[in-house]
A and B are shown apart, each in its own frame.
Chain A
Amino acid sequence: MPRVILSPCNAGLIMKRLLLETKWGALSLVALYVSILSGVVLALQYDEAHPFYSASSLDLLIPFGSFWRSLHFYSSQIFFLLSAVHLVVILFGPGDRLSLKKWMWLIASMPIALLLLFTGYVLRGDATGESAGLIAENICLSIPVIGDMLNSLLFAVTEEGMKRVYANHIIGLGVLWVIFTWDHLRRYRVTVYEHDWFVLGILAFSLIFPAPMEPMKMGVFHISGPWFFLGLQELLRYMQPFVAGVMVPMAFMISLAFLQKNQDWGSKARLFACTWLILYGGITLVALGR
């Protein structure tokens, strides 16, 4: 029987095979199924007119409320993270390339997924959720000409409370995500029972770790936004809201549209996206250090 020697070179190869052969997209989709199902359960008790009271009731009063909230929170996070891994692996893997139009259509689902995650944060209505909603509203309003309309469509927290954020979270953004990914998803069939250990893992994790919640406190002089917007929160200290909140993320989004190898600007776009991510990671670390 041949002996397998685990050298750094072999470990690298094993990692590479693991990365390329794991079905990240399928896992991401399974996490999304769990997220949708747990979201439907949560919606039966959640009341957007009293977001914080409602979210804390889930944690403190309603039987298994904390479990369902954790399940929704973690499955959604896993869905987004695995989608991002899926994107990176596909980019560097040997698979077929899409046409620019199809790729741009598909990649538009990423900011929508991020907005789905973000609106979930806002709907908690706790210290971070409320502030995140207000910041998003003000960033929207800083956009010339269309800012007011965009805010009315997406947030309008000051005027309408959580009504529109909730409508977008449970219907609008979900429908948009499906529209952008439909052509991609209809080619693959993912069944949950093929990934039962993965689902069990998410269930176990949600049973052990409660989803975060930060009640409003009198003497709190520092709050941190959601992990994926920590860098943006830090940038907003130094730059105009329109620059930090719109132009900087938009530059990354545009580079995503040209990432594929078969495109003229592919290598430059990949270099830009990597540099952007490294810088954003650095700024996120600065924010974490505060």
Chain B
Amino acid sequence: MTEERRIFLRNGWDWIRLAATAALCYPLFRFVKFKVPKKPRLVKVEKLMKVGDVYLDQEFFLFHDESATWAVSRICTHLGCRLNFSEKEHLLICPCHQSMFTTKGVMVAGPAKRNLPLFPVEKMSGENAKGYIVSL
């Protein structure tokens, strides 16, 4: 009886140790998994755009029409390739798998399934500063 009790207690202690280790994994996973939000990166476009102009950066397109100036991501939402702008079709096309997006980032042809993100654009005003600031 005493022997059985001893075994039971020893097994119980092993289970507690296992549970404690498992419980410690939780804060570890939470800690490792968390991604610190990136600080917004400001990109200056030192050029005043005319209606219909397109500015091409490594990470975004900047468009300007009569009513607004907007920046749309150049990274395809399918697998991350860099999009190019087709003047003929007025579309953003991925060279890897030919997903297509409107200039406002709306997906019109797959395999991409999500729209492109838009970035905030601010117009620089001042004597010496002419152009736009895009927050990525």
Contact = CB atoms under 8 A, between A and B. Distances in A.
B107 to A, nearest CB: 15
A233 B82 CA distance: 15
B16 to A, nearest CB: 27
Nearest to B85: A218
Interface string A193-228: 000000000000000000000001011111101000
B95 A236 contact: no
Nearest to A138: B79
Interface residues of B, number: 17
B80 A221 contact: no
Contact of B111 (A218, A225, A237): A237
Given A236-B111, A238-B111, A219 B86 contact: yes
Interface in B80-98: 80-82, 84-86, 93, 95-98
Contact of B79 (A223, A238, A241): A241
A236 B84 contact: no
Contact of A134 (B33, B80, B86, B93): B80
Contacts of A220: 84, 95
A218 B95 contact: no
A137 interface: yes
B98 A139 contact: no
Nearest to A218: B84
A130 interface: yes
Nearest to B113: A240
A127 B98 CA distance: 15
A168 to B, nearest CB: 19
Interface in B57-88: 75, 78-82, 84-86
B95 A134 contact: no
B56 interface: yes
A219 B83 CA distance: 10
A245 to B, nearest CB: 9
Contacts of A219: 84, 86
A220 B81 CA distance: 12
Contact of A135 (B33, B86, B93, B96): B96
Given A222-B98, A223-B96, A236-B97, A138 B80 contact: yes
12 contacts: A130-B82, A131-B95, A131-B96, A134-B80, A135-B79, A135-B80, A137-B80, A139-B79, A218-B56, A219-B86, A223-B96, A241-B79
Interface of A: 127, 130-131, 134-135, 137-139, 148, 158, 216, 218-223, 225, 233, 236-238, 241
Interface of B: 33, 56, 75, 78-82, 84-86, 93, 95-98, 111
